[in-house]
Chains A and B, each alone.
Chain A
Amino acid sequence: MDPECSRLLPALCAVLADPRQPVADDTCLEKLLDWFTAVTEAGSSLLLLQENPCLVELLFHVLKSQDLSSRILSFSLRLAGIFAAQENCFQYLQQGELLPMLFGEVGPLGGAAWTAPAVRSGWIQGLRTLAQHPSALHFLAACGAVDTIFSLQGDPSLFVASAAGQLLVHILDLAMRGPAEGRRSPQACDWPACAQKIVGHIEDSLCSTAIPQVTQALSVLTTAFGHCHGLWTQGLWVRLSPLVARLLEKDPVPASHSLVDLLLSVARSAPSSDRGLWETLAQTLSHLSPTQAGPLALGILKLQDCPQALRTQAFGILLQPLACVLEAAAQAPGPPGLLEGAAGDSMTVDTLLSSKSACVGLLCCALAHLGLLQPLPQRPSPWPQAPLLGAAVTILRLCSGSAAPTSDVGGRLCAILVGCGRVQRAALDFLGALSQGTGPQELVTQVFSVLLEYLVSPESSSMVLKKAFQATLRWLLSSPKTPGCCDLDPHTQLFLTELLPVLQKRLCSPCWEVRDSGLEFLTQMTRHWGGQAGFRQALLASEVPELTKQLLRDPESYVRASAVTATGQLSSWGLCASPECPGAQQESLLVELLHILSTDSEGFPRRAVMQVFTEWLRDGHADVAEDAERFVAGVLQAASRDLDWEVRAQGLELALVFLEQLLGQRGSHCPYAVALPETAPPGVLAQALQVLCRVQLFEFAFRALFDCDRPVAQKSCDLLLFLRAKAAPCGSPQEAGDSPNVASVEATLQRWQAGEQGQPLGYLEPGAVVALLRSVDLEGLRDTLAESSDHVEKSPQSLLQDMLAAVGVLGENEADCY
C-alpha cells in the first residue's frame, strides 16, 4: 500500500466507525472493498493489518457500536472475510476472537441489524471469501454457521437466498476436495462432517413435501454440478440420484424447472458412460408434461455424448406438438408424419387444446427450440427438413385462417390460433431458420406462397410483417442457382414478379414500421442481387425505386434513414436511374442526400447519409468518382457542423477512405508482418497534400481531434497518425518553421483544445500541415484518449480522499457551522 493511502486510512476508518458521519455511498464502499481485495491479493493481509492497526480497530468498533448503519456493518463483515481468506491472517484475527464475534451467534446474527438484508448478504459474502482453507472449515463448524446458511436459503431476499445456496456449494467443495478426494466412497462414512451435514440437509430437502425446499435443494445441486469439477461430484450424484429419481414418481413432478436444470447440469459434467443418469433423463422426459419437457429435450440434444435412444426420445418430445398440428390439419392420411407411429400423442393434443395460452406457449417453445437446434452441428440426423417445413407452413396457415382442416382437432386448433401474432412470429422465425436446408420443390413453393400470403395480408401486424420480410429474404437468398447460369432460377423470378407489387404497396403503408421493414428488405435484397439481371429487370419495371426515393421525405426519421440506405444501395447498382436520363437523376440524388445531411433535424437519416457516402466513395461510385474532391469537401463541411457525434465520426471514416485512395492503404494489421516504411513517393505526396488542403480535411480532422466526444477524437487521432506516417515519417524537405502561419495555427489549435472552437483554422499550406503533424503530440493524445474518462479519479488515493472530503474531514471548513 502506498504511504499516502496508509496515511489517510486511520481517518477513513474513524469516519466509517462514526455513526454520526453520513455514510459514503455504496459505490464508494464497493470500490474500497475492491481495493482491499487487490491489496491482499498482491501481498500479505497479516502485514497489512499489522501495519494499519486502524483496520482491526474498525472491526472491533463495529461490533461494539449499536447504532451503525447496516451498510457499514455489511461492509465490515465483507472486509473481515477478505482479510481472513489468508490462513495466517485468519489465525491472527482468531486470536482476538474477532471472527466468532463477527460471524457467530454473538455477532450481528442475533441482533436487530440482522433484519436488514444488506447485513445478511454481507455475512454470507464475508464467509464466502473467508472459506478458503481448512481452518475456515473448522471455524464454520464451531460457530454453527452452516445451520444459519440452511435457514438463509429460504430468505425473503432473493439475493440472500441465492448467495446462501452458492455458499453451501462452496463450503461443500472446500470440504470434499483434498488428498482423499478420489477415494471417497459414495456412502459417506469417510466424508468430512461438514460435508455430511450439508449433504444430509440436501437429502432431507429432496424428501420434503414442501416444494420450495425441494427447489432449494435442486438449485444447490445444480450449482454444485455446474461449478465444481472435483471427482467428489460423481460420488455425490451416485448418492443423491435415487432421491432425485423418486421426485419423478410424484404427480405432478415438483419443481420441474429446477429438476430440468439439475439434470442438464449433471449431464454436462458426468462421464458419458453413466447409464443410470441416462435412464433418469429418459424417465424424466416421459414424466414431465409436454411444456416442461421441452427445455430438457433441447438440453439433451445439445449434449455432445449422449445415447442415441435418448436423443431420439428427446427429439420426439420437441417434434410432438408439430406432429400433432400436422396430423390435425392433414386433409387425408398423407405422407408419413414427423414421428412415425407415435404422431398425435394424446397428452400433447390435450395441452394444445386445453386453452389458448397453453397452446400458444407450447407451440412457440417447440418452434423456438427447434429453431435453436437447427444450425447446431450436433442436431439430430437425419433432420426431418421436409415435415418440419410442412409443419411451419401449416401453422402459419392455421394462424392466417387460410387452412381448412377437416378434422375436429384441426378445427379447434384453427379457432385457437387464428390471428395469433405470437405464434405467427415464432413460426416465421422458424421458417426462416429452415431456409438453411433444402426441401422438395413442392414444399418450397408452398413456403413462398405462404410467405407471400403473409406479406399481402392486410391483417399481418407490423411485427409479423417484419418477420415475414426477414424469412422471405433468407429463403430468397438460399434459393438454388440454376447450374451454369448466374441468373435467378425461374421459380424465384416468378416469385419476384409477385413480390414487388406487394413491396410497393407496403412502402405506401400508413404504418411507419411497415415502410421501414419494407425498405430494409429492399436494401438487403439489392445488396445481394444488385448484379442479377433478372432482379434488375423486375425492379426497374416496378415503381419500387421511385417510391423509395419519395420516402426520403417521409415524416418518420427512421423511415427516412432506411430510405437513404436503400436509395444509396440502389444507386450503387445503378438501379435508381431511369433509363432515359441517367446522369440527371443521379445528380439529383446526390444533391438530395447532401440536403438531408445538412438540413434533416434527426440524427438517423444524417448518419445513414454519411454511411452511404462512405460506401459510395469506397466503391468508386460513378458520380462520386467524377469529382471526388468536390464531393469530399462538401460532405466534410456538412459533417463538421453536425451536432451528432456519430455523424462526425462517420465523417472521419469517409476522410480516411479518401486518404487511403490518395496515399494507399493503411499498413496491414498483421503483427508478424515486417513493417516497412510505407511512405508515398514525394511527388504523389505533394499532390495529395494539396488535395487534402483544398478539401479542408485538416481543418475537419484537427477540429475532431479536440472533439468533446472521445470516440471522435480517437478516430481523428488515428487518422492523423496514419497521415503522419505517410506524409512525414521523419525529416522531410520542409521544416516546421518554414511556413509563416504555423505559429498562428498552433495557437488556434491550443484554443480549440481549451474548448474555444469558434475561430476557423484558415487555409493551410501543405508544408504547414506537415509541420503541424510533427509538432502536435499525437501519441500522447492517443494515450490520454485511450484511458477511460475517469482514470484520474480511479486511484485508491483519490477514492480515500473523496470519501473523506465528502464528510468534511479533509476540508478546512470543519468549523463552518460556527
Chain B
Amino acid sequence: MKLYCLSGHPTLPCNVLKFKSTTIMLDCGLDMTSTLNFLPLPLVQSPRLSNLPGWSLKDGNAFLDKELKECSGHVFVDSVPEFCLPETELIDLSTVDVILISNYHCMMALPYITEHTGFTGTVYATEPSVQIGRLLMEELVNFIERVPKAQSASLWKNKDIQRLLPSPLKDAVEVSTWRRCYTMQEVNSALSKIQLVGYSQKIELFGAVQVTPLSSGYALGSSNWIIQSHYEKVSYVSGSSLLTTHPQPMDQASLKNSDVLILTGLTQIPTANPDSMVGEFCSNLSQTVRNGGNVLVPCYPSGVIYDLLECLYQYIDSAGLSSIPFYFISPVANSSLEFSQIFAEWLCHNKQTKVYLPEPPFPHAELIQTNKLKHYPSIHGDFSNDFRQPCVVFTGHPSLRFGDVVHFMELWGKSSLNTVIFTEPDFSYLEALAPYQPLAMKCIYCPIDTRLNFIQVSKLLKEVQPLHVVCPEQYTQPPPAQSHRIDLMIDCQPPAMSYRRAEVLALPFKRRYEKIEIMPELADSLVPMEIKPGVSLATVSAVLHTKDNKHILQPPPRPAQPTGGKKRKRASDDIPDCKVLKPLLSGSIPVEQFVQTLEKSTQHPPVPFLLEQHGFSDIKVEDTAKGHIVLLQEAETLIQIEEDSTHIICDNDEMLRMIRIPRIPLSSKLRCLCLK
C-alpha cells in the first residue's frame, strides 16, 4: 500500500492511494496562493495599477519591466494569474481509477486532472459538493475571463532569471508547472465525469475495495471517506468540523478500527477560535458602520458566509444596524443562496426540522425578503443603481487578485473610515493587501476556520484509535512562527507518519488475509465437526476461482465418470465420498501418549495416532525450548513437535508412510500442516 503525495498544501490535499489493485486519488485541491504573486485584475480601469513602475535588476537591466511591476517595495507579475497544480510527474495520472472528493474546496484542480492527463476513471462526490464546487469554478472562470489580459508573462519563470528576483518570487516553487485558469468548457467536461453519492453509500471498486463517504461536518456535503477491503480499513479524514454550524454533524463512530487514518485539512488558524472570531467580526463591523464607514468582506460565495449571515441576522437588530444594507456580489450569489436552502438532507438537524414547518433553513431568506440583504452578479448593472453607503459588501475573491473585491479595495482603500475584514483563512491577509499599499482603510483579520484544531484531533484520535496516522508534515511540528507551542501539533502514539509534496510513502501495514466465498453447493457438502465449543472444522476439496478480485471456491469438477450405463443414480452422486468420517484432530500432541502409541504394535491404534505397522522399540524424547523431539534411533527418524508445527525428518519414504499424524494445530493462525 502506497501513498503518493501530489500537493504540499495541507488543506488543499491531492494524494493518490494504491490499495490492493486500485489507484484512488483522494481530493484534488488547487493551491491558489500562487496568485498572490500577481497584480490584481481590476474590473474598472485603475490608473494606479496601470501606472506602476516596471521592475529592473540591481544592475539596472530592465528587460523584465513589462512582466514585473513594483508596488510599495513588492514585486508582482503583471499577467493573468496562474495556479500551482498538483504534482503530475510523480505518478501516471492516467492510471488513476477513481477520484474521491471530500468537499467543494478540494476539487478545484479537477479540470486539470480529468482533462489533461488521460484520466479515464470516475469521480465520486456528493451532490452539494458538485453543485457548490461548480459555482466556485464558475465564479473563478468568470472573474478571470471577464478581465481579458493580452499579456502572459513567462520570462520570469526561467530558472536563471527567477534566482535574481526578490522574495517571494525568488522562492516560489514549481513555477514552471503553474497554469492559467481552465475554461468553462473544461469545467463542464470535468464535472460530467462525476458520479453522485450519498453519505454511507457503499461503492464497490472492481470488487477489490469498497469506498464510503461519511459526513465530515465542515461544509454542505463535505465528506470523509472510508476505503476498505474485507480485512483492511483506511480512513481518509479531510476538512472535518465538530462545531455546530449548518452542515450535518461529523460521523466519528464509523472511523473506528482503521488500520490507517490519513488526516488532512485541519484548521489553518489553530490559535483562533471560530466563535471569538465571529464575535470580533460583528464588533468590528458594527463599529465601522456606526462611524459611517463601509465594510468589505472578501469571501467565497459559499461556506462560512452562510453562518456569518445567520449571525448578522441575529445581531443587526440588537446592534441597531437594521438600516444598513448588506450586499452580496458574486456571479453565483443568487445560485449559492438558493442552493443552500434546497439541500435540506445535508444540513444539521435543527435546519432540517425547519424544512418540515415549512420554513427556509437559513435565515438569509428573510434578510433577502426584508431587503436587508441584496445580491448582485457583479458591480455592473443594477447594483450601481441601488448602491447606498455606509454598507457591508460580501464579495470575492479572498485573494484580492480578481473579482469585484478589487474594485472595492480601490474605491474604499483611501479612507480610514472603511474596514476590510478578512474571514477566509486561505490567504495571508498581509500578502493579499500588498499590491494595495499604501492603504488608509482599516484591516481586521478574523479568520473563521471551523475545521478541527489540535485539541479536537487528539480527542478524535483517542476515540477512534487508528493503528497508524498519516498526515502532512506541517502537522507534526509546531507552526514555524510559534515554535514553542508544542500544543499546536499532532501528538499521538505511535507518532504520525508525515508526508510532503512529491513524496511516496509506503504505508506501514501488510495485507494478510483475503476473503474467499464458498459456493452454496460446495458449502452444502461440507460436514463440519465441532472440535471445541464454537469452533468447527471441515476438510474442503475445491477449485479456487478468481475473477474481478473476488475469490470463489467451487466444487471440484467430477472425475470423468466411467460411462457405465445409464442407471447412474443421481442421489448417490451427490453424497460426498467421505461418508465414513475420519476423525479430525486438533490441539497439542500429548507426548507421552504419542510415544506409547509408537511403541505399541497394533493395527487399530487409539486415536489420535495411526500407526500402520509394528511399534518402535528405541524411542527417546528430548525437551526443547519450543516443544519436544522424539528420536526413533532404529529408523533414523526425528520427529520435531512444536506448538504449531510438527516435522518428521527421515531418509526414506517408507518411514513417512508409517507415521501419519493428521493434526491441525489450533492456534490463532490456523496453519494447516499436512504430512505425507
A506 at the interface (CB under 8 A from B): yes
Q: A504-B287, A510-B315 are in contact. Are A458 and B484 (CB under 8 A)?
A: no
**Which residue of chain A lies nearest to B314 when distances are taken between CB atoms in the complex?**
A510
* Chain B min CB distance to A211 (Å): 34
B282–A510 CB distance below 8 A = yes
Q: A415-B487, A510-B282, A510-B311 are in contact. Are A505 and B287 (CB under 8 A)?
A: yes
A458–B282 CB distance below 8 A = no
* Chain A min CB distance to B487 (Å): 4
Contacts of B287 in A (CB 8 A): 504-505, 508, 543
CA gap between A406 and B486 in the complex, in Å: 12
Interface string of B290-301 (1 = CB under 8 A from A): 110000000000
CA gap between A458 and B283 in the complex, in Å: 10
**Which residue of chain B lies nearest to A457 when distances are taken between CB atoms in the complex?**
B276
**A-contacting residues, B260-316, CB 8 Å:** 271-273, 276-280, 282-284, 286-287, 290-291, 311, 314-315
CA gap between A460 and B280 in the complex, in Å: 11
* Chain A min CB distance to B644 (Å): 44
Q: A401-B271, A550-B320, A555-B317 are in contact. Are A508 and B484 (CB under 8 A)?
A: no
CA gap between A514 and B275 in the complex, in Å: 14
A405 at the interface (CB under 8 A from B): yes
**Which residue of chain B lies nearest to A461 when distances are taken between CB atoms in the complex?**
B276
CA gap between A719 and B262 in the complex, in Å: 78
**Which residue of chain A lies nearest to B446 when distances are taken between CB atoms in the complex?**
A458
B279–A412 CB distance below 8 A = no
* Chain B min CB distance to A502 (Å): 10
B318 at the interface (CB under 8 A from A): yes
A411–B484 CB distance below 8 A = yes
Q: Show 18 residue pairs from A and B whose CB-CB distance is below 8 angstroms, ordered by the A residue.
A: A401-B271, A401-B485, A403-B484, A411-B484, A414-B484, A414-B486, A506-B283, A508-B290, A509-B279, A509-B282, A509-B283, A510-B279, A510-B315, A510-B319, A511-B279, A514-B279, A547-B290, A553-B320
CA gap between A511 and B273 in the complex, in Å: 15
* Chain B min CB distance to A548 (Å): 12
Contacts of A546 in B (CB 8 A): 290
Lowest 3 CB-CB distances: which A-B pairs, in order? A415-B487, A458-B280, A458-B276
CA gap between A558 and B172 in the complex, in Å: 54
**B-contacting residues, A422-473, CB 8 Å:** 458-460
Q: A458-B276, A458-B277, A543-B291 are in contact. Are A410 and B282 (CB under 8 A)?
A: no
B485–A414 CB distance below 8 A = yes
Contacts of A543 in B (CB 8 A): 287, 290-291
A510–B283 CB distance below 8 A = yes
Contacts of A642 in B (CB 8 A): none
B482 at the interface (CB under 8 A from A): yes
* Chain B min CB distance to A543 (Å): 6
Q: A401-B271, A406-B484, A414-B485 are in contact. Are A555 and B276 (CB under 8 A)?
A: no
* Chain B min CB distance to A549 (Å): 11
Contacts of B315 in A (CB 8 A): 510
Contacts of B272 in A (CB 8 A): 458-459
A554 at the interface (CB under 8 A from B): yes
CA gap between A412 and B286 in the complex, in Å: 39
* Chain B min CB distance to A678 (Å): 51
A459–B276 CB distance below 8 A = yes
Contacts of B320 in A (CB 8 A): 550, 553
* Chain B min CB distance to A453 (Å): 13
A418 at the interface (CB under 8 A from B): yes
A410–B283 CB distance below 8 A = no
B286–A508 CB distance below 8 A = yes
B: which residues have CB within 8 A of A? 271-273, 276-280, 282-284, 286-287, 290-291, 311, 314-315, 317-320, 446, 482-487
Most buried by B among A401, A406, A410, A556: A401
B290–A401 CB distance below 8 A = no
* Chain A min CB distance to B383 (Å): 27
A809 at the interface (CB under 8 A from B): no
A404 at the interface (CB under 8 A from B): yes
Interface contacts (Cβ under 8 Å), in number, total: 72
Q: Is the interface of A mostly helix, strand, loop or mixed?
A: loop
Contacts of B485 in A (CB 8 A): 401, 414-415, 418
Contacts of B284 in A (CB 8 A): 505, 508
* Chain B min CB distance to A165 (Å): 45
Contacts of B286 in A (CB 8 A): 508
CA gap between A556 and B317 in the complex, in Å: 12
18 new A-B contacts, CB < 8 A, other than A401-B485, A459-B271, A505-B284, are: A401-B482, A411-B484, A411-B486, A414-B486, A415-B486, A458-B277, A458-B280, A504-B287, A505-B287, A508-B284, A508-B286, A509-B282, A510-B278, A510-B314, A514-B279, A543-B290, A553-B320, A555-B317
**Which residue of chain B lies nearest to A509 when distances are taken between CB atoms in the complex?**
B283
Most buried by B among A459, A460, A511: A459
Contacts of B487 in A (CB 8 A): 414-415, 418
CA gap between A418 and B318 in the complex, in Å: 33
Contacts of A553 in B (CB 8 A): 320
Contacts of B280 in A (CB 8 A): 458
Contacts of B291 in A (CB 8 A): 543
* Chain B min CB distance to A495 (Å): 20
Contacts of B446 in A (CB 8 A): 458
Contacts of B278 in A (CB 8 A): 510
Contacts of B282 in A (CB 8 A): 508-510
Contacts of A511 in B (CB 8 A): 279
CA gap between A460 and B273 in the complex, in Å: 10
CA gap between A185 and B282 in the complex, in Å: 76
CA gap between A459 and B453 in the complex, in Å: 15
Contacts of A555 in B (CB 8 A): 317-318
Out of A404, A406, A508, A550, which one reaches B283, CB within 8 Å? A508
**B-contacting residues, A495-552, CB 8 Å:** 504-506, 508-511, 514, 543, 546-547, 550
B318–A405 CB distance below 8 A = no
Contacts of B290 in A (CB 8 A): 508, 543, 546-547, 550
CA gap between A547 and B485 in the complex, in Å: 38
Out of B279, B483, B486, which one reaches A458, CB within 8 Å? B279
Contacts of A504 in B (CB 8 A): 287
* Chain A min CB distance to B290 (Å): 7
**Which residue of chain A lies nearest to B286 when distances are taken between CB atoms in the complex?**
A508
A554–B318 CB distance below 8 A = yes
A412–B318 CB distance below 8 A = no
Contacts of B318 in A (CB 8 A): 510, 554-556
Interface string of A388-421 (1 = CB under 8 A from B): 0000000000000101111000111011001000
CA gap between A411 and B487 in the complex, in Å: 9
Contacts of A506 in B (CB 8 A): 283
CA gap between A554 and B286 in the complex, in Å: 13
**Which residue of chain A lies nearest to B289 when distances are taken between CB atoms in the complex?**
A508
Contacts of A508 in B (CB 8 A): 282-284, 286-287, 290, 319
**Which residue of chain A lies nearest to B491 when distances are taken between CB atoms in the complex?**
A415
* Chain A min CB distance to B507 (Å): 30
* Chain B min CB distance to A308 (Å): 40
A459–B484 CB distance below 8 A = no
Contacts of A505 in B (CB 8 A): 283-284, 287
Contacts of A404 in B (CB 8 A): 482-484
CA gap between A505 and B287 in the complex, in Å: 6
CA gap between A799 and B561 in the complex, in Å: 112
CA gap between A190 and B158 in the complex, in Å: 107
Most buried by B among A418, A506, A514, A547: A418
Contacts of A401 in B (CB 8 A): 271, 482, 485
B484–A410 CB distance below 8 A = yes
* Chain B min CB distance to A282 (Å): 38
Most buried by B among A458, A504, A514: A458
CA gap between A550 and B485 in the complex, in Å: 41
CA gap between A554 and B272 in the complex, in Å: 28
Most buried by A among B280, B282, B291: B280
**Which residue of chain A lies nearest to B282 when distances are taken between CB atoms in the complex?**
A510
CA gap between A144 and B278 in the complex, in Å: 71
CA gap between A547 and B320 in the complex, in Å: 11
* Chain B min CB distance to A305 (Å): 47
